[in-house]
């Protein structure tokens, strides 16, 4: 399977029921895989803030991951308000964004939809998400995907996953979900005792 298919299967295993999105140039390669694979249904909307709010509502209503898929720059940056709202309200929202290819990232050329630097969008999303990853290494991707999705569920806050457009179809191993952290029974009993006092 390729990287995008593995990501979609991992989203489904972690409770995602559908994807809300708007295709755009940097995201077209992974949108094609979303549509052709039929792993998760895709609902295409007309405005990025609506994508974010729809995915946030899905997360809240279903008690699981909500997924918003957009393109780099104009798409993802237009969704900042809805992601910030999900962060403030502790909603498990996954933002999937297309991104410049690995070779484009190191070329020094300006790309359309680019903010100050090619990394600006990633840095902006660090402020309103609990975990982030740029899937620029297919070998490391399964571990990174598992970590980010576990963070989203554990903290019940948004996460950001950027997929460089030349990585979407790279061969990729299965994503193995992280093992949930064990509850310390002594700490739990101490907490119960304190609450009951």
Could you give the count of Cα atoms lying within 13 Å of 51 in the half-sphere of its Cβ? 27
pLDDT on residue 67: 99
Cα–Cα distance measured from residue 197 to residue 176, given in angstroms and rounded to the nearest whole number: 41
Confidence of residue 187 (pLDDT cuts 50, 70, 90): confident
pLDDT on residue 114: 63
**What is the DSSP code string of 10-68?**
HHHHTT---EEE---GGGHHHHHHHHHH-SS-EEE-SSHHHHHHHHHHHHHHHTS-EEE
pLDDT on residue 105: 63
Long-range contacts of 61-64 (CB under 8 A, 24+ apart): 62/15, 62/17, 63/15, 64/14, 64/15, 64/16, 64/17, 64/92
CATH number of the domain residue 167 falls in: 3.40.50.970
Mean pLDDT score, 133-139 = 97
CA distances from 17 to 59, 83, 105, 130, 161 (A): 9, 19, 32, 21, 18
Q: Which residues pair with 69 in a beta bridge?
A: 21, 96
52-66, 73-87, 121-135, 179-193: lowest mean pLDDT where? 179-193
72-131 tens-digit pLDDT: 988 999 999 999 999 999 999 999 999 988 876 666 666 666 667 778 899 999 999 999
* The total number of structural domains that make up the chain: 1
Q: Which helix (H) or strand (E) holds 153?
A: helix 141-155
pLDDT on residue 40: 98
pLDDT on residue 177: 83
pLDDT on residue 68: 99
CA distances from 109 to 90, 104, 130 (A): 37, 7, 30
Could you give the count of Cα atoms lying within 13 Å of 73 in the half-sphere of its Cβ? 16
154-171 tens-digit pLDDT: 999 999 999 999 999 999
Percent of the chain clearing pLDDT 90 (strictly above): 75
pTM: 0.89
β-pairing, 93-99 with 42-44? unpaired
pLDDT on residue 109: 63
Confidence of residue 51 (pLDDT cuts 50, 70, 90): very high
β-pairing, 93-99 with 159-164? parallel
Contact 68, 55 (CB under 8 A): yes
Tokens linked to 136? 């620029």
Could you give the count of Cα atoms lying within 13 Å of 5 in the half-sphere of its Cβ? 12
pLDDT on residue 173: 95
Q: Domain range for residue 63?
A: 3-196
The candidate with the shortest Cα–Cα distance to 56, out of 30, 22, 101, 20, is: 20
pLDDT on residue 49: 97
Contact 95, 70 (CB under 8 A): yes
């Amino acid at each position: 399977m390729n990287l995008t298919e593995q990501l979609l299967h991992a989203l489904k295993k972690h409770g995602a029921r559908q994807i809300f999105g708007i295709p755009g140039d940097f995201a077209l390669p992974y949108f094609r895989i979303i549509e052709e694979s039929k792993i998760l249904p895709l609902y295409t909307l007309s405005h990025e803030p609506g994508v974010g709010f729809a995915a946030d509502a899905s997360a809240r209503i279903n008690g699981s991951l909500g997924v918003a898929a957009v393109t780099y720059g104009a798409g993802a940056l237009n969704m900042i308000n809805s992601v910030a709202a999900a962060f403030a309200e502790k909603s498990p929202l996954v933002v999937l964004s297309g991104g410049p290819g690995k070779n484009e990232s190191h070329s020094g050329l300006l790309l359309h939809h680019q903010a100050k630097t090619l990394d600006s969008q990633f840095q902006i999303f660090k402020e309103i998400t609990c975990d982030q990853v740029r899937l620029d290494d297919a070998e490391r991707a399964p571990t990174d995907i598992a970590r980010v999705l576990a963070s989203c569920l554990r903290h019940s806050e948004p996460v950001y996953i950027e997929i460089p457009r030349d990585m979407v179809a790279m061969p990729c191993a299965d994503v193995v979900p992280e093992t949930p952290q064990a509850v310390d029974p002594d700490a739990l009993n101490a907490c119960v005792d304190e609450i009951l006092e």
